[in-house]
Structure 1
């Protein structure tokens, strides 16, 4: 009986792949979603009582909320016309938890929530407390039965990609390298994304270069004596949310810098006001971050690596036949933001450049994974001394390369990120001519104005 629920992540992607095919062929608005639900039911031996479960997963794959009713008549058209996917990103799907059995406390999902918001109790399903949930995605990837799912944002994006009058930029996380095959170059990915309808692919690492300079100046201004400390990483919404929600007394030590994702959208839209920006990364939490009130105008949609892989499969993109449109957009420093310690390394290189004679030397502490993040925050809350003045936190083990929606394992991804960083012809953010050109277009005369110019600083500040 339980086989129909087990390993549901693959079945979920099968649903999504079919939706992509119909949408790409411009048949989705008239597509019979009831037939899709029936096909899934019959293929995997679901029962009649499971149809609400199946249909809710189809809705989430369309980027829509779950519903109690069974009416599917306007769902596809509603998804196509959806201007922006709404919160909550992580949705409870009724109908699966009842099959976990009496010993569900032994399942991987039971302890999956790391934020003291115990999700699994003796009820019909998970309890999602939205003011505690940080959308890290750990619960989603831990549940093989499909009781929790994150919305997929591709269908609402389709209209924009088909509209040749609207420039849509794909900004890709530094951890993207290697996610679609060992021999697939970033230039081939750029070509593939252009085939989907994107105007261009931009490395988010370019904006990490900008933020590295900003954080280096902030560190230099704020850490001037023993006992001073500075919290980052701005790139991890799980870490930032953990500090803000659970340790508000420490939040004054947090860098006010935007995440590189949000900065990519904000800067691109400043340069190209009619543009739309889609972030592609490894992280479910980024979907939620993009929907925060202050960032909703900056990032229009978020896709994950495994979602993009399914899109490529659905429309039969053969990377072996694609030419590479190669560009060096970011420095070594910006590219290694993808792994634990990357932010610390990058900021240190700039601090040493702008203030080589600092009396209080840059001393970083790097932690990854929720447990270690909470441990160091508890230490700081209790005012215990630590041998560091720059604390970098990353919610996923290994950093962004360990995100819940990656396609390859952490060690391999880390090695590929390091190699890709070393391949860059740009060694530090100060050497990045792409960055200098952007600053010139924004009206700045000097790279240091990232920290000093009010207009540019506002583009990079929460």
Structure 2
């Protein structure tokens, strides 16, 4: 007997519609108890021709849209109370929603083979089983599941009360790959205005903190790569790359300095400069949601939103960045803004290494790898002690880098071109030319750029604890 599954198809779009309705009702004060949640679930059922037997599935998607865990077959009870008292979204990031897998043909299953790590993380039973110890939270499975069986939590609803609280200052920390994601001609200044309308105190470019980490990594390359056999694995940016090395290649992990990512650095520095604030990171990356919850990093970033989620939020609340007056500030260098695409980190670090030691005998020779398969191949090459012609390895889990992330709004090639243009638009060419960076360092007691690698407050902020 063939069972009708049309109501589950194209669920990625339906999922965003559910999220939009949750946001609208909670924002307007129309989602206050379990009665309101049940009313929402019934409206969703009728709108998309779901069956009564699908109600647990619908309710779990409402929970996930609120940043909560699915419960399966449980009625709504204290969800609103939890949200109002919550100041964080807990693990796991990727959840399985019961229901649609029983209709799915295993051979043509949309989530089959989507795991970037290719490590049999998902076993087939009645649907996939997520092995949390192996999952890199790259988001490819949830992005590829058309039936809504695999899904990542959305962290905006617990943030709404904070954005509306006049006594709480919330800063938006944006990834470099945001260029072009909300309209080809939308400037960073217009994004700042849009986010302020949403309730944020201000918007800060994470590329500014990429500038700081670029200088740190340049000094480390100079100190650690002294012979033809030495090599350096950058730890910046990508949590998928970082966790792949840490979990599976412990010997190679020794070549990866304990630096935090620009995202974490942004949260730490902002909280050092401004007391009692909240910091929200906005990017195309599902793995960043998990990174922010790692035990040694927890609390540095309070919430993580994706570009796709923010686009839906703007649409729901009638905020159009393209129609707004821009509040433009050049915070980051050309080099720092390039971190959003493959090769950006290598270019930035090499620029500083050449500036620090123009006559350096051991030249920085980078290998830029993107996509988990390519990352794994290079790590296998290094772990087998094969002779290589590079000494600096930049790894990114997504093809194309962050511009190819699972929750982007525009195609990778288009995003790359716009990001390059946005980088070129900066009046600041390199991290060394960034007076914003120098101002921050001076406020934290650093007078000379060379002191960034000494034991001081800045080096502590840049280091994994």
TM-score, scaled to structure 2 = 0.97
Q: Distance in 2 between matches of 1:41 and 1:364?
A: 53
Aligned partner of 1:332 in structure 2 is: 334
1:143-162 aligned within 5 A? 143-162=145-164
Aligned partner of 2:91 in structure 1 is: 87
Conserved? CA contact 1:188–1:322, under 8 Å: yes
Aligned partner of 1:96 in structure 2 is: 100
Shift of 1:120: 4.3
In structure 1, the gaps of 5 or more residues are none
> Quick check: 333-342 or 112-121, which moved more?
112-121
**Secondary structure, counterpart of 1:32 in structure 2:** helix
Aligned partner of 1:57 in structure 2 is: 61
Aligned partner of 1:12 in structure 2 is: 15
> Quick check: 45-54 or 135-144, which moved more?
45-54
Conserved? CA contact 1:444–1:453, under 8 Å: no
> Do structure 1's residue 24 and structure 2's residue 9 form an aligned pair?
no
Q: Distance in 2 between matches of 1:404 and 1:40?
A: 25
Aligned partner of 1:48 in structure 2 is: 52
Conserved? CA contact 1:110–1:119, under 8 Å: no
Aligned partner of 1:289 in structure 2 is: 291
Aligned partner of 1:39 in structure 2 is: 43
**Secondary structure, counterpart of 2:15 in structure 1:** helix
Conserved? CA contact 1:80–1:155, under 8 Å: no
Q: Aligned match of 2:80 in 76, 83, 87?
A: 76
Q: Distance in 1 between matches of 2:317 and 2:116?
A: 37
The superposition leaves residues 51-78 of structure 1 with CA deviations (integer Å, 9 ceiling, x where unpaired) of: 1111111100000011134321321232
Q: Distance in 1 between matches of 2:124 and 2:242?
A: 31
TM-score, scaled to structure 1 = 0.97
The superposition leaves residues 432-451 of structure 1 with CA deviations (integer Å, 9 ceiling, x where unpaired) of: 00001101110111122222
Aligned partner of 2:5 in structure 1 is: 2
Shift of 1:117: 4.0
Shift of 1:321: 3.4
Q: Distance in 2 between matches of 1:140 and 1:395?
A: 16
Q: Distance in 2 between matches of 1:55 and 1:117?
A: 31
Q: Distance in 1 between matches of 2:115 and 2:236?
A: 22
**Secondary structure, counterpart of 1:134 in structure 2:** coil
The superposition leaves residues 64-112 of structure 1 with CA deviations (integer Å, 9 ceiling, x where unpaired) of: 01113432132123223212100001001111111112xx234341111
Q: Distance in 1 between matches of 2:122 and 2:11?
A: 18
Q: Distance in 2 between matches of 1:299 and 1:382?
A: 37
Aligned partner of 1:400 in structure 2 is: 402
Q: 1:97 to 1:69 in 2, by over 3 A?
A: closer
Q: Distance in 2 between matches of 1:80 and 1:121?
A: 36
**Secondary structure, counterpart of 1:109 in structure 2:** coil
Aligned partner of 1:371 in structure 2 is: 373
Question: Over aligned residues, Cα RMSD in angstroms?
Answer: 1.2
Shift of 1:320: 4.1
The superposition leaves residues 271-307 of structure 1 with CA deviations (integer Å, 9 ceiling, x where unpaired) of: 1121110000000000000000111110000000010
> Quick check: 306-315 or 158-167, which moved more?
158-167
Conserved? CA contact 2:193–2:324, under 8 Å: yes
Q: Distance in 1 between matches of 2:122 and 2:206?
A: 36
**Secondary structure, counterpart of 1:72 in structure 2:** coil
**Secondary structure, counterpart of 2:68 in structure 1:** coil
Conserved? CA contact 2:61–2:97, under 8 Å: yes
Paired residues, what number? 460
Shift of 1:119: 4.4
> Quick check: 347-356 or 104-113, which moved more?
104-113
